[in-house]
């Protein structure tokens, strides 16, 4: 596989994507991911050559559509179990940072 030197993503873009994904990156990581992600995107580009104007996209392979169930309450996790793995709790609630 020939490696392309042209980087599809800029450093700024990498930082923006990381922000969207709620990830914090070090400046070293930004450079590493910039070149690795650019290389992968460069490889993926081959798809542009395929003509797909009249093709319908597939998201569900076995043909199921709109699967419903009866609107009946079924048992679910108790509050005790749901809170069990949380590191920050207050009384019977999850504790999160304030959002203002």
Partner 1 sequence: MLNQLTIIQALKGLQEKKFSSQELVKDCLKNIDRVDKKIGAFITVSRSKSLEKAKKVDNLIKTNPSIFKEKPLLGIPMALKDIYSTKGIKTTAGSKVLADYIPPYDATVVKRLKKAGAIIIGKTNLDAWAHGSSGENSDFFPTHNPWNLKKVPGGSSSGSAAALSSSQCLMSMGTDTGGSIRQPASFCNLVGLKPTYGRVSRYGIISMASSLDSIGHFTKTVADSAFVLQITAGQDSLDATTPNVTVPNYSNKLTKPNKELKIGLPKEYFSEGVDSQMRKTVEIAAGLLEAQGHEIINVSLKTTKYACPAYYIIQPAELSSNLARFDGIRYGNSRSFFGDEAKRRIMLGTYTLSSGYYEAYYLKAMKLRSLIISDFKKVFKEVDLLLAPVSPFPPFNLGEKVNDPLKMYLSDVLTISVNLAGLPAMSLPCGFTNDNLPIGMQFIALQFKEEVLFNVGHQYQQLTDWHKKRPNI
Calpha distance 31→27 (Å, rounded)? 7
Interface with partner 1 (CB under 8 A), residue from 5, 6, 77, 92: 77
Which string of DSSP letters, residue by residue, matches 3-26? PP-S-SS-HHHHHHHHHHTT----
CA end-to-end distance (rounded Å), the chain: 49
Binding mask 16-45 for partner 1 (x = CB under 8 A): -xx-xxxxxx---x---x--xx-xxx-xxx
Rg (CA), the chain: 23
Tell me how many residues contact partner 1 (CB under 8 A): 48
d(CA 83, CA 80): 5
Please tell me whether residue 99 binds partner 1 under the rule CB under 8 A: no
Query: Out of 2, 27, 28, 60, which residue is the one contacting partner 1 (CB under 8 A)?
Result: 60
Q: Enumerate binding residues for partner 1 (CB under 8 A).
A: 1, 9, 13-14, 17-18, 20-25, 29, 33, 36-37, 39-41, 43-48, 50, 52, 55-62, 64, 67, 69, 77, 81-82, 84-88, 94, 96
């Amino acid at each position: 596989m020939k490696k392309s030197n042209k980087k599809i993503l800029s450093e700024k873009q990498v930082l923006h994507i990381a922000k969207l994904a709620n990830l914090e990156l070090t400046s070293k990581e930004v450079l590493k991911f910039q070149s690795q992600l650019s290389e992968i995107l460069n490889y993926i580009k081959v798809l542009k050559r395929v003509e797909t104007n009249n093709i319908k996209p597939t998201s569900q392979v076995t043909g199921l559509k709109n699967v419903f169930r009866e609107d009946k309450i079924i048992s679910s996790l108790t509050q005790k179990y749901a809170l069990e793995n949380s590191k920050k709790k207050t009384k019977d609630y999850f504790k999160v940072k304030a959002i203002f």
